[in-house]
């Protein structure tokens, strides 16, 4: 029987060999033209998103992971991948990519090398595709480490992309999959690659930042949605239902808490119920809490991304036919109010406030517990309330009058960059607020020429002002 040390040594060698193959492949496209790069990523998306294949992948993903649902998986592999391709296909990523004539500076894109990417079990169908085309758009290679629960899905998708790459005349090893994943292999990948792109649990993201390799990680999601007294309530209820139930809430952008203004609380609650929401009583709330957090702390994997009937049966309470999501009335936030945190189920906490100021304060309390920096949303026709929320919350994204889960990572109805990697800034312990794309996976060389007319320093009076000069 192999010792732990022998297994680690074997893992290290396996990853080292993959990294080396990636480097060889990357060198072969290091001087590709923009047209060659864009043909590559177009072929990669078509290979997985074309009719017949997308349906097969969606079903395969559900069968393997037992997470989410077919429709959610199909939308991601068929529509999200197309939308991501559309979003980046016309971007210039080769040669001079930006010019600042007023500063006489041009920026030249350079590959990073081999990207080490982590793919979660909750979005294993589109995440490898989006990360792979973002890497190749920057003329990089990529090695993808899947969650063990989705290793076959990951291999299936990577193999399809590899075949497409070869048919376009490029080396297959531009995209590689760890076929038998383990924590040690993932850690080795993060140590040996040139840049880490981490999407997964907080422990894995922390490990990415501790790997010694430059890392792009994401923070915890716990989206909080406000509905004010100017909103179109029918519209808001429908979009909240769409977001809350998309892929059985596999996304960390699913509506985890909904805040309603007093003035519309009763009416809006009825509309949420009409959309398939079921309000839990105290006994059911306790049973659901015990089901979601089996040890009182960690989310129970058995109920993640399952439908309402499955969760209710597991928790031990009855629900009406047609129930699509749970509504749990809440008043507080923090560890003593578990439903104020991320739930990864078709469960939303429901809060009541007087006005936008109370909504902002409550959003910050909820996300101070979990989800700070990630995103929040608002249904409103008041620009004043919208901007107040945006200015008053510690968040990287405020989605206005849109279903949160399919919107904050970019969609056809907004201008957000398409991704599944949402930076949360310093609020979420991340180095970026970006919707992470190919631009985060390149190096840039700045070429600076002298200005035609050099800048001159103004007088002290003009630069500092009399008030400062006389006070200090």
Catalytic residues: 252
- Burial class of residue 69 in the structure, from the number of CB atoms within 10 Å of its CB (0-12 exposed, 13-18 middle, 19+ buried): middle
Nearest 5°: phi and psi at 443? -100, 155
Distance separating alpha carbons of residues 278 and 29, to the nearest angstrom = 54
List the Cα angle 311/316/321 in 5-degree steps: 60
Per the CB < 8 A criterion, the answer to whether 203 and 357 are in contact is no
Per the CB < 8 A criterion, the answer to whether 213 and 193 are in contact is yes
Residue 228 half-sphere exposure toward CB, CA atoms < 13 A: 22
Distance separating alpha carbons of residues 43 and 323, to the nearest angstrom = 41
The answer for residues whose C-beta is within 8 angstroms of residue 334's C-beta and 6 or more apart is 340, 365, 369
Distance separating alpha carbons of residues 434 and 456, to the nearest angstrom = 35
Q: Which residues pair with 118 in a beta bridge?
A: 145
Residue 456, number of CB atoms within 10 A of its CB: 5
Distance separating alpha carbons of residues 57 and 155, to the nearest angstrom = 11
Nearest 5°: phi and psi at 326? -100, 140
Question: Residue 377 to residues 225, 386, 387: CA-CA distances in angstroms?
Answer: 5, 9, 11
| DSSP code, position 299 | B
| DSSP code, position 415 | -
């Amino acid at each position: 029987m192999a010792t732990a040390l022998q297994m680690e040594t074997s893992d290290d060698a396996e990853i080292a060999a993959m990294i080396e193959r990636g480097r060889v492949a990357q060198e072969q496209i290091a001087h590709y033209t923009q047209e060659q790069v864009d043909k590559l990523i177009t072929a990669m998306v078509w290979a997985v998103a074309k009719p017949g294949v997308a349906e097969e992948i969606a079903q395969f993903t559900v069968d393997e992971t037992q997470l989410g649902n077919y429709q959610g998986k199909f939308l991601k592999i068929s529509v999200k991948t197309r939308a991501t391709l559309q979003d980046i296909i016309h971007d210039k990523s080769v040669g001079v990519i930006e010019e600042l004539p007023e500063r006489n500076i041009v920026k030249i894109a350079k590959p990073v090398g081999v990207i080490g990417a982590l793919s979660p079990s909750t979005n294993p169908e589109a995440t490898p595709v989006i990360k792979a085309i973002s890497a190749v758009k920057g003329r990089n290679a990529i090695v993808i480490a899947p969650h063990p629960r989705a290793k076959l899905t990951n291999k299936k998708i990577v193999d399809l992309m590899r075949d497409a790459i070869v048919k376009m005349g490029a080396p297959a090893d531009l995209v590689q999959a760890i076929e038998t994943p383990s924590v040690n292999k993932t850690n080795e990948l993060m140590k040996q690659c040139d840049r880490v792109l981490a999407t997964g649990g907080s422990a894995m993201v922390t490990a990415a930042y501790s790997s010694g390799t430059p890392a792009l990680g994401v923070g915890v999601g716990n989206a909080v949605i406000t509905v004010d007294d100017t909103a179109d309530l029918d519209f808001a209820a429908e979009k909240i239902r769409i977001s809350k139930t998309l892929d059985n809430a596999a996304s960390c952008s699913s509506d985890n808490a909904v805040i309603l203004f007093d003035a519309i609380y009763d009416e809006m609650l009825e509309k949420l119920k009409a959309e398939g929401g079921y309000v839990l009583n105290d006994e059911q709330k306790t049973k659901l809490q015990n089901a979601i957090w089996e040890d009182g702390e960690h989310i129970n994997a058995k109920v993640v991304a399952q439908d309402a009937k499955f969760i209710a049966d597991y928790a031990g309470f009855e629900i009406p036919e047609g129930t699509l999501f749970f509504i749990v009335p809440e008043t507080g936030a923090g560890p003593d109010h578990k439903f104020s945190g991320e739930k990864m189920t078709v469960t939303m906490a429901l809060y009541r406030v007087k006005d936008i100021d109370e909504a902002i304060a409550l959003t910050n309390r909820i996300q101070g517990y979990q989800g700070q920096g990630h995103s929040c949303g608002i249904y409103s026709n008041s620009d004043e309330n919208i901007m107040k929320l945006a200015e008053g919350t510690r968040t990287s994204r405020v989605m206005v009058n849109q279903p949160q889960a399919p919107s904050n990572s970019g969609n056809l109805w907004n201008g957000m960059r398409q991704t599944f990697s949402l930076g949360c800034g310093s609020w979420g312990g991340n180095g970026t607020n970006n919707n992470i794309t190919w631009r985060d996976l390149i190096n840039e060389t700045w070429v600076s020429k002298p200005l035609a007319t050099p800048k001159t320093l103004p007088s002290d009076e003009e630069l500092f002002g009399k008030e400062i000069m006389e006070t200090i």
